[in-house]
Amino acid sequence: MNSHLSAYIRRYIDLTEEEDALFQSYLTPATLKKKEYVLQQGETCKSRYFISQGCIRLYYIDQKGSEQIVHFGVEHWWITDYDSLLSQTPSHLNIQAIEKTELLELKETALIQLYAKIPALERLFRVIMERTYVACQRRLEYMFSLNSEQMYETFITSNPQFAQRIPQYMLASYLGITPEYLSTLRKLH
C-alpha cells in the first residue's frame, strides 16, 4: 500500500484499513520518464492519476502553436483532464511529465465500482474536484486582477516548491508572460 496516498485520504475521509487496501488494489502504478505523456490531445481520458513522486504539467497548444500551461501537479496531488474524462470526448489537453514521475492510475470504470463498495470515496473525489475548481477560479481571478509581477510574486509565495523544479519557459507560459520578462522579474526578486 502507498502510505502517502493513505495519509492523503485520511485528510478528507475515514476509511478502515480494509477499505483503504481495497481502494488501493484498484490502482495501477506507472513510471513516466521526463517528457513522457499520460494523455495526448485527441485521446479520450479514461483515468485519474495520483502523483506519488514527480511533477506533471497539463497544457494545450494554442492557435499560434504555442504551449499554454493550464495546471501543474506535484507529489500527493491528483491530476486528470476532467472535461474529457467526464464527457468521454477527445481531449484538447496534454498531460506530460516534467521530470521522472511515479503515478497511481485509477480508471474511471474502477472508481464507479468503488463508489458502490466504499461510499465515502464519493466525498473524497467531490472534495478533490472542489479544490481543483477553487484553484482554477483563483487563477482566473489573479489573471484578471493582478499585473505580471504580482502574479509571479503570488505564484512563488504560494508554490515555493515549483520555483526550482519548473523550467523558466513553462512558468512563463503558466503566468502568461514571455520567458524574457520572467527572467527580468526573477532578477528583481
In the prediction, which pLDDT does 78 show? 95
> What pLDDT is recorded for position 80?
96
Give the C-alpha separation, 60 to 4, whole Å. 30
What confidence tier does 158 reach under pLDDT thresholds 50, 70, 90? confident
- Cα separation, 189 vs 187, in Å, equals 6
Hey, what's the cell of 73? 501537479
Mean pLDDT over 129-144 rounds to: 89
- The DSSP annotation for 72-122 comes to EEETT-EE--HHHHHHT-B-S-EEEESS-EEEEEEEHHHHHHHHHH-THHH
SS3 148: helix
Q: Where are the domains of the chain?
A: 3-136, 146-189
Average per-residue pLDDT for the chain: 92
Give the pTM: 0.89
Enter the DSSP assignment of 45.
P
- Asked whether the beta carbons of 80 and 48 are under 8 A apart, the reply is yes
Cell of 37: 505523456
CB–CB of 33/97 below 8 Å?
yes
Q: How confident is the model at residue 1 (pLDDT cuts 50, 70, 90)?
A: confident
Of the chain, the percentage scoring pLDDT greater than 90 comes to 68
DSSP at 189: -
CATH number of 3-136: 2.60.120.10
Q: What is the per-residue pLDDT for 93?
A: 97
| Residue 3 banded pLDDT, cuts 50, 70, 90 | confident
Confidence grade of residue 4 (pLDDT, cut at 50, 70, 90): confident
Instruction: Please tell me which residue, 163 or 8, carries the higher pLDDT value.
Output: 8
Supply the pLDDT for residue 96. Answer: 98
Is residue 105 within 8 Å of 27, Cβ to Cβ? yes
Interval 10-67: pLDDT, tens: 999 999 999 999 999 999 999 999 999 999 999 999 999 999 999 999 999 999 998 9
- State which H helix or E strand residue 61 sits in: strand 55-61
